[in-house]
């Protein structure tokens, strides 16, 4: 739970109110201008109504240079960011031929597999020559290669489930699977901060949806008890099925799910657990097997395990792991399996190879080293940020660490000032977060060296002082940074 200081909340509301008032003022004169110069679309309703695109026109476009920055190199610890210019007050941005070499604190490259790898890359190139970039077919037609079957077996063994099914897109894995698993007469109980893919999947299912307070098992139990007692709306019949949906690491909070307590409650009330491990699989746990391994939860107690390959494995796509009966059912009913093009063979090979490296099956201990580095880097960076006085969300071992910005004016200021100092960060605001809770989301990688992290800390500290986002008293951290340098040397 984030507690906002009253002064910060007041100034943030005032800033948004000012932007809204000036935006409405400009829209008023825009309507007069449009009426005076009548358009050729007489009789047509506007595609974008005033209030629907108000946020985009009056807020987002002012700072859109902070988002969607193109890069022209692999998303490694350092990458090349293409510079852009605007001649119309940020309405449009044009790419230039200039590039900036920046420290990458925004990509989900948790284990460093997004760059060229001595084991993975040669095998990916070989699979490209053998299978081509795409199967150009669905899995049920001609889109299942030997790589797809090997990948599903590999994933099932890695996460500790009897079977698995893979898809070409992580977002679709949630949004297409949930409507297949549950429908009218069922109950979905979802964490209040679950990802948008889960929200859309739940809405598309037709099931009744209830929300429990973020990562609060006691409130989950209250919601379960209340709705089991009441039954379905109007008829009060027993629910056909109840699914509780949570995430392993919450992508905007960096918090670990309280999985042991949630699993115990679901077992007590006979509800299924759907666990989204998009940000945790491969990144946490002694051998990278996610929050179940980290928190000591038996995977047999989690009926549906979901994850993506875009974070720790340097590829694309997603998976569902569960019982053989569940996976067989999904293969016959899930539209993402029946109608979507199968995952690219080189992408499948990248996942297989990276899992082998993580498990040490490549004949080296690089996987264990990567897991140790991501854990050490994450805990070091989080600790130093907190000592500087930043409000940092999340738990230890999590590679995702949001720095709270709050005020809308601080979103572009923080992003632009960091970029000037060759540090690329991701800023997140409404609607991805609640209106008051804008933040910068730092993603740490095993590819970052200690020198990289110290440089990032110096830049973020300097920009934090400039922008005014150190909401807590700072400790004497400069001496500690010097000590770290001496130890490194």
- Residue 180 domain-assigned? yes
Residue 330 and residue 236 share a domain = yes
Q: Nearest-CA neighbor of 177 among 38, 370, 322?
A: 322
What is the distance between the terminal CA atoms of the chain, rounded to a whole angstrom?
40
What residues contact residue 355 under an 8 Å CB cut-off, 6+ apart? 154, 155, 158, 313
Q: Nearest-CA neighbor of 408 among 3, 54, 25, 55?
A: 55
Residue 401 and residue 482 share a domain = yes
- Residue 50 domain-assigned? no
Residue 205 and residue 143 share a domain = yes
Q: Are 125 and 329 in contact (CB under 8 A)?
A: no
pLDDT digits 0-9 by tens, 354-394: 999 999 999 999 999 999 999 999 999 999 999 999 999 99
What residues contact residue 91 under an 8 Å CB cut-off, 6+ apart? 61
Residue 221, CB-side half-sphere exposure with 13 Å CA sphere? 10
Residue 394 and residue 476 share a domain = yes
Residue 308 and residue 260 share a domain = yes
pLDDT tier for residue 486 given thresholds of 50, 70 and 90: very low
Q: Which of 40-44, 73-77, 115-119, 340-344 is predicted with the least confidence, judged by mean pLDDT?
A: 40-44
DSSP one-letter code for 44: P
User: Between β-strands 208-212 and 186-191, what pairing exists: parallel, antiparallel or unpaired?
Assistant: parallel
CATH number, domain with residue 315: 3.40.640.10
pLDDT value at residue 60: 87
- Residue 170 domain-assigned? yes
CA distance 181 to 334: 9
- Residue 255 domain-assigned? yes
C-alpha distances (whole Å) from 244 to each of 160, 208, 296 are: 20, 12, 19
pLDDT digits 0-9 by tens, 197-237: 999 999 999 999 999 999 999 999 999 999 999 999 999 99
- Residue 410 domain-assigned? no
Choose the final residue of a domain: 339, 359, 379: 359
Residue 248 and residue 197 share a domain = yes
Q: For residue 279, which phi and psi values (nearest 5 degrees)?
A: -100, -5
pLDDT value at residue 58: 84
- Residue 32 domain-assigned? no
Average pLDDT on 428-436 reads: 86
- Residue 47 domain-assigned? no
Is the pLDDT assigned to residue 434 strictly greater than 90? Answer: no
CA distance 252 to 254: 6
Average pLDDT of the chain, as a whole number: 92
Residue 200 and residue 130 share a domain = yes
Average pLDDT on 302-329 reads: 96
pLDDT tier for residue 9 given thresholds of 50, 70 and 90: confident
pLDDT tier for residue 57 given thresholds of 50, 70 and 90: confident
pLDDT digits 0-9 by tens, 460-482: 999 999 999 998 887 654 555 45
pLDDT digits 0-9 by tens, 105-146: 999 999 999 999 999 999 999 999 999 999 999 999 999 999
Q: Are 77 and 105 in contact (CB under 8 A)?
A: no
Residue 346, CB-side half-sphere exposure with 13 Å CA sphere? 11
Residue 463 and residue 352 share a domain = no
pLDDT value at residue 479: 52
- Residue 112 domain-assigned? no
pLDDT value at residue 487: 44
pLDDT tier for residue 489 given thresholds of 50, 70 and 90: very low
Counting the structural domains of the chain, the total is 2
Residue 286 and residue 425 share a domain = no
Residue 291 and residue 202 share a domain = yes
pTM of the model: 0.91
DSSP one-letter code for 22: H
Residue with tokens 């746990």: 285
CA distance 137 to 326: 24
- Domain extent at residue 401: 63-104+368-405+419-429+443-487
CATH number, domain with residue 448: 3.90.1150.10
Residue 342 and residue 448 share a domain = no
Residue 391 and residue 284 share a domain = no
């Amino acid at each position: 739970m984030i507690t906002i200081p009253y002064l910060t909340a007041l100034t943030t509301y005032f800033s948004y109110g000012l932007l809204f008032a000036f935006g409405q003022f400009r829209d008023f004169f825009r309507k007069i201008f449009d009426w005076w110069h009548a358009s050729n679309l007489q009789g047509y309703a506007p595609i974008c109504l005033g209030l629907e695109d108000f946020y985009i026109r009056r807020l987002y476009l002012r700072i859109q240079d902070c988002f969607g920055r193109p890069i022209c190199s692999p998303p490694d610890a350092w990458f090349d960011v293409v510079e852009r210019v605007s001649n119309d007050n940020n309405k449009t941005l044009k790419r230039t031929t200039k590039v900036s070499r920046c420290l990458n604190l925004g990509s989900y490259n948790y284990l460093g597999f997004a760059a060229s790898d001595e084991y993975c890359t040669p095998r990916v190139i070989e699979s490209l020559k053998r299978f081509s970039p795409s199967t150009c077919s669905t899995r049920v037609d001609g889109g299942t290669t030997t790589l797809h079957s090997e990948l599903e077996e590999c994933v099932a063994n890695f996460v500790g489930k009897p079977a698995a099914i893979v898809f070409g897109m992580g977002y679709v894995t949630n949004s297409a699977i949930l409507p297949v698993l549950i429908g009218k007469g069922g109950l979905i109980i979802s964490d209040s901060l679950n990802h948008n893919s889960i929200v859309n999947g739940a809405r598309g299912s037709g099931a009744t949806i209830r929300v429990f307070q973020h990562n609060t098992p006691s409130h989950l139990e209250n919601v379960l008890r209340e709705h089991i007692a009441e039954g379905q709306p109007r008829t009060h019949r027993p629910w056909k099925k109840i699914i509780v949906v949570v995430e392993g690491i919450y992508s905007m909070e960096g918090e670990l799910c309280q999985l042991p307590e949630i699993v115990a409650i679901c077992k007590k009330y006979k509800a299924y657990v759907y666990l989204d491990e998009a940000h945790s699989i491969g990144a946490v746990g002694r051998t990278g097997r996610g929050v179940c391994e980290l928190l000591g939860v038996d995977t047999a107690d989690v009926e549906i395990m979901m994850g993506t390959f875009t974070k720790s494995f340097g590829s694309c796509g997603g998976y569902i792991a569960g019982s053989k009966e569940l996976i067989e059912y999904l293969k016959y009913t899930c539209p993402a399996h029946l109608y979507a093009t199968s995952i690219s063979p080189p992408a499948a090979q990248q996942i297989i190879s990276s899992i082998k490296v993580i498990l040490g099956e490549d004949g080296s201990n690089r996987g264990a080293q990567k897991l140790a580095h991501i854990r050490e880097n994450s805990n070091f960076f989080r600790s130093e940020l907190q000592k500087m006085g930043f409000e940092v969300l999340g738990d230890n071992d999590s590679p995702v660490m949001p720095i709270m910005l709050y005020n809308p004016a601080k979103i572009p200021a923080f992003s632009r000032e960091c970029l000037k100092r060759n540090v690329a960060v991701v800023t997140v605001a409404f609607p991805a977060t609640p209106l008051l809770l804008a933040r910068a989301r730092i993603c740490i990688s095993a590819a970052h060296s200690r020198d990289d992290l110290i440089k990032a800390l110096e830049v973020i500290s300097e920009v934090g002082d400039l922008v005014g986002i150190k909401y807590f008293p700072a400790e004497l951290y400069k001496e500690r940074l010097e000590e770290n340098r001496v130890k490194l040397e």
